[in-house]
Amino acid sequence: MAIAGPALAQESADYPPSCDASRITPADVDRAHTVFLSGKQFLEESNYDKAISYFKDAYSIDCSRHAMLPIIATAYERKGDKAEAVRALEEYVRRAPGAPDHDVIERRIKNLKDQLARDQPPPAAPAPSPTVIAPTAPPPAPPPVESTASTGLPPAPPAPAGGHTAAPWVITAIGGVAAVGGVILLGVGSGDVSTADGQCPDRQCRSQSAVDTGNRGRSLMNGGGILLGGGLVVAAAGVLWHFLEKPGNHDAAARATGPRVDALAGPGYAAISLRGSF
């Protein structure tokens, strides 16, 4: 039972002290080799904890077999524990300084240490200092509004809004409509006169209806001429009014036409005046 299934020792980073091969009996060599083969089987099955335990047991049985240390390091490396793998290899270099694979082991140690350095997380960046926001100055206070009660004077009226009135355009539109009506009457009357002239050659009318048509046409033409001339005059007057009118005059005129009462008060006197224009 000691050869076929050695008890699993608790995994430890410590290794048995080195011993001389003369102290190891052939039976110990055979038993250590059997335990080593069992650990190799576990290593091939990726059961790294059991493989490391068996390899250490084999090294404890034959403590002169320092070549077990690189094998233990391989099991640690496959397990992912590179630090213990480096420790096992450095222990091998100390215990077997004249081994022929010394250079290979040194390069292996260097590669594992480089991997450990790359695997280490970067140092944490210092926490940024909190940003201090300086208080902003309050906006300047608005200038004080002078009270009308303290001065005794009424507040100034708002400035009158400028602009032209609509009255000139209304007059212009009326004149335009009248002129258009005059043109229509002229056209209708001219047509009636032409019809009457066609029925009365050489102004000899034998038909009363032709005479009536001619008279009506002449009346329409006279009225149309008057309406056209008057409409054009009215329209021209409206346009002239618009261009001669000053913006804002209508507001001043509206204020001037009504009566105005001014009240003034001051220390020791009072006055009331009534002004107006008609």
In terms of pLDDT, which residue wins out, 8 or 35?
35
* Cα four-point dihedral sign 40, 67, 65, 16: negative
Residue 135 pLDDT: 63
Residue 240 pLDDT: 87
Q: Is the pLDDT of residue 13 over 90?
A: no
Q: Which residues contact 197 (CB under 8 A, 6 or more apart)?
A: 214
Q: Is the pLDDT of residue 255 over 70?
A: no
Partnered with residue 271 across adjacent β-strands are 264
Taking the C-alpha atoms of residue 35 and residue 2, their distance in angstroms, rounded to an integer, is 9
Q: Which pairs from 140-143 meet CB under 8 Å and 24+ separation?
A: none
Q: Is the pLDDT of residue 155 over 70?
A: no
Average pLDDT estimate for 162-178: 83
Phi, psi dihedrals of residue 253, rounded to the nearest 5°: -65, -40
**Closest C-alpha to 47, from 39, 35, 55, 37:** 39
Kindly report the average pLDDT of the chain as a whole number. Answer: 78
Taking the C-alpha atoms of residue 16 and residue 30, their distance in angstroms, rounded to an integer, is 18
Q: Specify the 3-state DSSP secondary structure of 227.
A: helix
* Cα four-point dihedral sign 243, 245, 251, 254: negative
Q: Which of 206-238 are b and which e, b meaning 16 or more Cβ less than 10 Å from the residue's Cβ?
A: eeeebeebbeebeebbeebeebbeebeebbeeb
Residue pair 7/15 in contact (Cβ under 8 Å)? The answer is no
- Count CB neighbours of 122 within 10 A: 5
pLDDT level of residue 121 (50, 70, 90 thresholds): confident
In terms of pLDDT, which residue wins out, 107 or 186?
107
Q: Is the pLDDT of residue 72 over 80?
A: yes
Residue 41 pLDDT: 96
Taking the C-alpha atoms of residue 245 and residue 151, their distance in angstroms, rounded to an integer, is 38
Query: How many percent of the chain have pLDDT more than 90?
Result: 38
Average pLDDT estimate for 214-224: 88
pLDDT level of residue 219 (50, 70, 90 thresholds): very high
Taking the C-alpha atoms of residue 11 and residue 249, their distance in angstroms, rounded to an integer, is 111
The pTM score is: 0.42
Average pLDDT estimate for 140-167: 60
Taking the C-alpha atoms of residue 149 and residue 100, their distance in angstroms, rounded to an integer, is 114
- Distance of CA 117 to CAs 120, 123, 129, Å? 5, 12, 30
Residue 178 tokens, joined: 């009248």
Q: Is the pLDDT of residue 65 over 90?
A: yes
Average pLDDT estimate for 106-120: 93
